[in-house]
Structure 1
């Protein structure tokens, strides 16, 4: 019987002060060699751009040393041995991405200057070259007005879960059709570390944690199905279980992306697979063809998508005063409680995988 495995995670966005990686699993027969997985997004927003590279498992995969033991798994592994660059095929101008951590390549200082530009990603690995189809940044986009509400609703097996729901009232572009929209949401919240008494009365450093509230939600809008230039539509873009992260200021960063028809179709197919919870007779899970290819090997399969989009960002935040549910202050200092009885997240901001010990520049803008 063939080995089956979940292999592909996509979308990565904003890691300068925000960090999120949405992982969506597909099943794939185990091949004889590794396959490259590309996950990238380029926008016209003045922010750091990212590309993430990893490789699938294969029958030839070697074990890795983990905690003193050699282990062999079928999870994608970050790939760091590539030269990654962005090319404007109309002008010939190019920008290099730089490796900042395993599998993560970063481009800073990019400015989209011309509506004529057509962008392609080029990846070079040991003589092999991979490219994405050239794409233009769309010229139209809508606008968002965000709101939140705290509600009781079913979440998985919990029929009365305490949730925060993030909604947008979107004003559509002033044209009929010929546009496609997608929304992405990440979060950032202040985490109150335990303040232990000390001779200098020095508080712990600030701790800001980044993540994503609902990675499997894919919110799309097809302008071809609407005849409402400048009209409005309301939809949920994220929801999250209310937990101790709501004891302090909790931001939701919402990006509206104006994307190509091909990108829309890609994400529509991804959403169909993610939402496919029917029987084995339903559409089988499979890797979805993206927009990347091998320059020298027509038979090689390259997984993933490099997306080029016009972006618009809005933020909204909640505070503890907004929360209508009881929340236990698990990190609050208690004189009769020893330090080792506190959760590690109460003692160090580094206990969170994505966190910083200072406030982002935008934290107090609102």
Structure 2
């Protein structure tokens, strides 16, 4: 019995001696981040401005759109094109639809924030676009740690002829996709009801969606200079809805500068870190933007001017050797946000 009291006294003493230690973490400094590109393709072209913070004690609202800025692009002859802020997407500034960059010309991005701070990019020269000659679709699986079944999707590979007279740098990105959204309104059940109430419409809609890539796709021609080559340009994840019927996406093949390639390669390497203890710590990768008020200020992001070649690709369910199980939406397809029963004017063209 005495031992029990003795142990109880020790526990109470230890608890009484513990004093909470409060650590004050200095809030991270806000950094201007720029994500912008112009090409020789049709407009509008966009520049996204935001303020992000480094590691801090509070992670809410760490990325904020930079609103009410003055943004314009200047070419080598001094001609200026102003970009206007999108009223539906704050912090995104768009060029006029009739603006296109000219191959061989150089451009700088100029920014004046609402607080008066001024920034300018280093000049970017627009390289000639290299056309996509053909493409192929490959069903690919991605192992998922801790899961019984793998993710899968459509790998898109493009064929092109690399010019042999200079070193070329390539970057691929895809535009928002559109696909047939098939649902089952005949299987509809009202909320909290065990009695079916089939709806007569609608089974097929068309949905536009931003489809992000798993990685950054880019390369240079060190290993295929002057040759025909094939390279992976995109991977579209199968979510059980996208490939039930017909899926459409436009792939942009961009001829970028050596500086833009080096920047994107560093970003790619940082994104693909495995997360082991031997990995180097994440670092801010400086782009080609400079503060005119404080040359030592860290500005994130890169302004790219590129030659653009576009290829429209349709993927049908039979193009994929294997797919994820179909995801069933037991309702009218029009209840899905953004879905419409009216196909695009250029659908299947």
Q: Of residues 113, 118, 137 in structure 1, which corresponds to 2:126?
A: 137
Structure 1 window deviating more from structure 2 (71-80 vs 118-127): it is 71-80
Distance 1:294 1:275 in 2: 29
2:50 alignment partner, SS class? strand
Pick the aligned partner of 1:38 from 34, 39, 42. 34
1:282 deviation in Å?
2.5
SS, match of residue 296 in structure 2: coil
- TM-score, normalised to structure 2's length? 0.77
Which residue in 1 is equivalent to 2:137? 148
Pairing partner for 1:265 from 259, 262, 265: 262
Residue 169 of structure 2 is matched in structure 1 by 180
Secondary structure, aligned partner of 1:271: helix
Distance 1:57 1:326 in 2: 38
Q: Deviations over 1:87-111 (max 9, x none)?
A: 1132433233333322121113244
Map residues 1-366 of structure 1 onto 2, 5 A cutoff: 30-32=27-29, 34-57=30-53, 73-100=60-87, 101-112=89-100, 114-125=102-113, 126-152=115-141, 154-158=143-147, 160-161=149-150, 163-186=152-175, 187-192=177-182, 195=185, 203=202, 206-214=205-213, 216-223=214-221, 225-235=222-232, 237-322=234-319, 324-325=322-323, 327-328=325-326, 330-332=328-330, 346=333, 348-350=335-337, 358-365=342-349
Structure 1 stretches of at least 4 aligned residues deviating more than 6 Å after TM superposition: 58-61
TM-aligned CA distance change 1:160 to 1:144, over 3 Å: farther
Q: Could you list the runs of 5+ residues in structure 2 that have no partner in the other structure?
A: 1-22, 189-196
Contact 1:287 1:303 in 2 (8 A): yes
Unaligned runs of 5+ in 1: 4-28, 62-70, 334-344
CA positional deviation for 1:303: 1.1
Structure 1 counterpart SS, 2:125: coil
Match of 2:16 in 1: none
Residue 153 of structure 1 and its aligned partner are, at CA, apart by: 5.0
> What does residue 12 of structure 1 align with?
none
Give the TM-score taking structure 1 as reference length.
Answer: 0.74
Shift in Å at residue 112 of structure 1?
A: 3.5
Q: CA RMSD in A?
A: 3.4
